[in-house]
Structure 1
Amino acid sequence: GKPLKEAQGEILYSASFLEWFAEEARRVYGDVIPASAKDRRILVLKQPVGVAAIITPWNFPSAMITRKVGAALAAGCTVVVKPAEDTPLSALALGELANQAGIPAGVYNVVPCSRQQTSAVGEVLCTDPLVAKISFTGSTATGKILLKHAAGTVKRVSMELGGHAPFIVFDSANVDRAVAGALASKYRNSGQTCVCTNRFLVQKGIHDKFVEKFAKAIERELHVGSGFDAKTTQGPLINEKAVEKVERHIHDAVSQGASIVTGGKRHSLGKNFFEPTLLSNVTTKMLCTQEETFGPLAPVIKFETEAEAIAIANAANVGLAGYFYSQDPAQIWRVAEQLEVGMVGVNEGIVSSVESPFGGVKQSGLGREGSKYGIDEYLEIKYVCFGGL
């Protein structure tokens, strides 16, 4: 159900990681360190960690594989990919493409499984001593389970876990640009990405204007429909459970005084389609500001001071992405450095790119993907000392 334009964009994004890491393979440089003793020489080598288990989510079934596998193959590792049980076909298609591209048999391996088997397969990958590295993208709760399993054999681990991204709009912001960024940051993939904004914080002086323009933009520019329709920007949510979570968050917020500005219910197209929704009069006591919704729900909190906004944004136990809009240069530096997240968008609602390091802080994960740093997750550093020279 993903809109065709977004699906095509994902494939191009997927390919970009393979192109990027094909070049990064050339730059796995070691080092020569001056020794304190005249009869010694010190070398630093980088070597592949070994077999890497790649566990990926359903929301980007191609890109989340290539971002990990591209780095692993460039480092010299073999991989075992366990795709999400909802989206195994992309992983299998990539396997066929790997064969066509000349990747040797046994280098890229896929282990699809049913929903009932996924926990057991994940445990085997994390506990098998032949596996040297785990890379996982998914929920924080599942990541913690995998970390416990991996601890038994002290594996190298990369984790890209849950997000709860704040989107702050200060009084000095360009409102039109902030609204455009909000649309992109919140409703991409129907709100089902780990870097989607989960809570909007808008300063008092600009709040009403932002909410009004945001609502009009949602109604004008977002279209729910079939993924094959060129006009469609919003497809269905992944399953009934996802829709129920959005409904639960809306009901909780409204019961505590929030107002539905636009949307707020299932779409007439079908049970997994949901109207893009905007809430105002939201407080930090509501579920939609405490949990990651992972759906097309935009709750707006009004704040008065910069310090208040920073405190609200940093109150979460996760920190993947954060966004803010401001035209004050001093404020831009202060806020960018104070936000407790791994990635910051300043006057920008989309931050993901092949050349930039992707990852979070706190309980949003460990390590970085993409960029020149991504390949390091699959390399061991070995120190070699030559003596008696």
Structure 2
Amino acid sequence: MAMQSMNPATGAHNAEFDLWDEATIEQTVTDAGMLWTQWAKEVPLEHRCQLLKRLGDVLLDDREPLAELITLEMGKLYKEALAEVDKCAQLCDYYAEKAPEFLADEPLESGGSRSYLTYKPLGVVLGVMPWNFPLWQVFRFAVPTITAGNIALVKHASNVPQCALAIEEVFRKAGYPEGVYQHMLISASQVEPVIRNKVIKAVSLTGSEPAGRKVAAVAGSELKKCVLELGGSDAFVILDDVDMATVVAGAVKGRFQNCGQSCIAAKRFIVDAYRHDEFVAQFKEAVESQLQAGDPMDADTTLAPMARQDLLEELDAQVQKSVQMGATLVTGGYQLDCPGSYYAPTILTDVTSAMPAYHEEMFGPVATVLKASEPAHAVGLANATDFGLGGSVWGKDAATCETIARNIESGASYVNSITFSDPRLPFGGIRHSGYGRELSREGIREFTNIKTIYIH
């Protein structure tokens, strides 16, 4: 059985790789367990941070070929791929500076003469990573996990094996000991026995809700720490006092960057009834005029292909079923007649709670527009979802926007900004969007033993 790499922009075959057998998997996990003692106890944090600075330098040295590989394997616009590599380098610089502060002993008040928290690594951590940000998602997991003193084993998405191997090479070039970061060429069906291996102490998954349920069930049965970053159906709340040109620009970027294939993309546009028709008309005009399909390597292309044809077909089925149930198709709703997995940017209105476009995550270039009678109704619509990852609120009254942002049930809420991830801001969701946090101080502490020391 082999792992296939395809070009989403052309449908051409890139490469294939044989999956590891059980013996290779077992030996890799065993070796990781033996390496961890040396990495955690013999390599001081100061040296790990020095390696991290070098890791960022290597990423910038190799940014063009890495970005080209991202575009080749998952279809991302080349200019967006370059930004992804740069963001990974920024992550390295951030933790190289902040890790000593985040992992320092923390004094506590108690009845003893001295008490404090200390943060110790857990051991070997398995990361199960997605394809939509082939470098960023992996670095977001691996950088803080490794810097805290753990070993990272990574099962990357099956459609980006060359990106996975390139990441391993970046760590190697930066001078990390062999095996501190290790990619595993395994399928989804091979993940469970790895989680159950006694050497594995924790697991992190970024991916779909069904995948999260499976991984969490296995990790839970083994009483192992688990962090899940799953899907989202983020609300983009538009109040009646907005500057419409600013909002439409944010809506196009917030929904359609990365071809809409982002867990924190704006997916449900909840618009004050007074401005609803105006927004829909201007949003439609902007989408139809600004998003042009083409070669993702071309700087003039503004609409990338979807990563896989099966994902496009799933998205189209959600759209067609919603339309059959009464949703209005404002624009789009079909696969473009050209090579590759291109889907026309789509806007749906008149969506009801029974439709897939209302209650399911639309992971691609499809926007759902809902009408709100007042701010309280907008909050209710924003929270009428099983997901809870991010969301944004747009309006001129700062106090009203902030109140709505605080009342949206999600891991993050942004005011007059699209939702985004930033190394300085904790990232994660609630409910069906998962649990645990990545990035910032909380992210580097997730896979540590937060240990109390009490001295009398």
TM-score interval for Structure 1 and Structure 2 normalised by the shorter chain: over 0.9
- Corresponding residue for residue 36 of structure 1: 111
Are 2:193 and 1:118 equivalent residues in the alignment? no
CA deviation digits over 1:15-48, x for unaligned, max 9?
22222222222211113334425xx433432111
Superposed CA RMSD in Å reads 1.5
CA distance in 2: counterparts of 1:293 and 1:35, whole angstroms? 50
CA distance in 1: counterparts of 2:217 and 2:163, whole angstroms? 28
Are 2:277 and 1:208 equivalent residues in the alignment? yes
Q: Against the structure 1 CA distance between its residues 205 and 33, is the aligned structure 2 distance closer, same or farther, given a 3 Å change threshold?
A: closer
Deviation at 1:286, TM superposition (A): 1.7
Contact 2:413 2:419 in 1 (8 A): no
Are 2:74 and 1:5 equivalent residues in the alignment? no
CA distance in 2: counterparts of 1:44 and 1:334, whole angstroms? 34
Contact 1:245 1:293 in 2 (8 A): no
Deviation at 1:271, TM superposition (A): 5.2
Contact 2:124 2:150 in 1 (8 A): yes
CA deviation digits over 1:87-134, x for unaligned, max 9?
122221121121111101121111022xxx3222x1023211111111
CA distance in 2: counterparts of 1:62 and 1:363, whole angstroms? 24
Deviation at 1:268, TM superposition (A): 1.8
CA distance in 1: counterparts of 2:376 and 2:252, whole angstroms? 25
Q: Against the structure 1 CA distance between its residues 255 and 44, is the aligned structure 2 distance closer, same or farther, given a 3 Å change threshold?
A: closer
CA distance in 2: counterparts of 1:42 and 1:334, whole angstroms? 38
- Corresponding residue for residue 197 of structure 1: 266
- Corresponding residue for residue 61 of structure 1: 134
User: Please, which of 319, 322, 336 is the counterpart of residue 405 of structure 2?
Assistant: 336
Q: Identity over the aligned pairs, expressed in percent?
A: 34
Deviation at 1:57, TM superposition (A): 0.1
CA distance in 1: counterparts of 2:211 and 2:330, whole angstroms? 34
Higher relative helix content: 2
CA deviation digits over 1:138-187, x for unaligned, max 9?
01111111111111321111110111111111111221111111111110
User: Please, which of 358, 363, 367 is the counterpart of residue 427 of structure 2?
Assistant: 358
CA distance in 1: counterparts of 2:326 and 2:222, whole angstroms? 50
Contact 1:46 1:379 in 2 (8 A): yes
- Corresponding residue for residue 250 of structure 1: 319
Are 2:258 and 1:185 equivalent residues in the alignment? no
**Which amino acid counterpart does residue 12 of structure 1 have in structure 2?**
D
**Which amino acid counterpart does residue 157 of structure 2 have in structure 1?**
A
CA distance in 1: counterparts of 2:105 and 2:268, whole angstroms? 43
What SS class does the counterpart of residue 46 from structure 1 fall into? Answer: strand
- The runs of 5 or more residues in structure 2 that have no matched partner are 1-74
Contact 1:52 1:131 in 2 (8 A): yes
CA distance in 1: counterparts of 2:137 and 2:151, whole angstroms? 17
Are 2:215 and 1:142 equivalent residues in the alignment? no
Are 2:380 and 1:311 equivalent residues in the alignment? yes
CA distance in 2: counterparts of 1:11 and 1:167, whole angstroms? 27
User: Please, which of 99, 123, 146 is the counterpart of residue 73 of structure 1?
Assistant: 146
User: Please, which of 179, 183, 187 is the counterpart of residue 106 of structure 1?
Assistant: 179
CA distance in 2: counterparts of 1:179 and 1:273, whole angstroms? 23
CA distance in 2: counterparts of 1:329 and 1:386, whole angstroms? 48
Q: TM-score, normalised by structure 1?
A: 0.94
User: Please, which of 52, 66, 72 is the counterpart of residue 125 of structure 2?
Assistant: 52
CA distance in 2: counterparts of 1:32 and 1:373, whole angstroms? 17
Deviation at 1:289, TM superposition (A): 1.1
What SS class does the counterpart of residue 135 from structure 1 fall into? Answer: strand
CA deviation digits over 1:48-84, x for unaligned, max 9?
1111111100101110011111101110111101101
- Corresponding residue for residue 371 of structure 1: 440
What SS class does the counterpart of residue 298 from structure 2 fall into? Answer: coil
- The runs of 5 or more residues in structure 1 that have no matched partner are none
Are 2:86 and 1:16 equivalent residues in the alignment? no
What SS class does the counterpart of residue 129 from structure 1 fall into? Answer: coil
Are 2:145 and 1:90 equivalent residues in the alignment? no
What SS class does the counterpart of residue 187 from structure 1 fall into? Answer: helix
The number of residue pairs the alignment matches comes to 381
CA distance in 1: counterparts of 2:214 and 2:326, whole angstroms? 37
What SS class does the counterpart of residue 350 from structure 2 fall into? Answer: strand
What SS class does the counterpart of residue 168 from structure 1 fall into? Answer: strand
CA distance in 1: counterparts of 2:399 and 2:455, whole angstroms? 51
CA distance in 2: counterparts of 1:314 and 1:35, whole angstroms? 40
CA distance in 1: counterparts of 2:355 and 2:221, whole angstroms? 38
Name whichever of 322-331 and 171-180 sits farther off.
322-331
Equivalent runs, 1:205-354 vs 2, <5 Å: 205-270=274-339, 272-354=341-423
What SS class does the counterpart of residue 373 from structure 1 fall into? Answer: helix
Contact 1:282 1:302 in 2 (8 A): no
CA distance in 2: counterparts of 1:148 and 1:200, whole angstroms? 33
CA deviation digits over 1:210-249, x for unaligned, max 9?
1111111112211111111111121111222211222222
Q: Against the structure 1 CA distance between its residues 371 and 225, is the aligned structure 2 distance closer, same or farther, given a 3 Å change threshold?
A: same
Name whichever of 278-287 and 215-224 sits farther off.
278-287
Q: Against the structure 1 CA distance between its residues 43 and 168, is the aligned structure 2 distance closer, same or farther, given a 3 Å change threshold?
A: closer
What SS class does the counterpart of residue 282 from structure 1 fall into? Answer: coil
Q: Against the structure 1 CA distance between its residues 25 and 263, is the aligned structure 2 distance closer, same or farther, given a 3 Å change threshold?
A: same
Q: TM-score, normalised by structure 2?
A: 0.80
**Which amino acid counterpart does residue 54 of structure 1 have in structure 2?**
G
Contact 2:406 2:413 in 1 (8 A): no
CA distance in 2: counterparts of 1:257 and 1:136, whole angstroms? 36
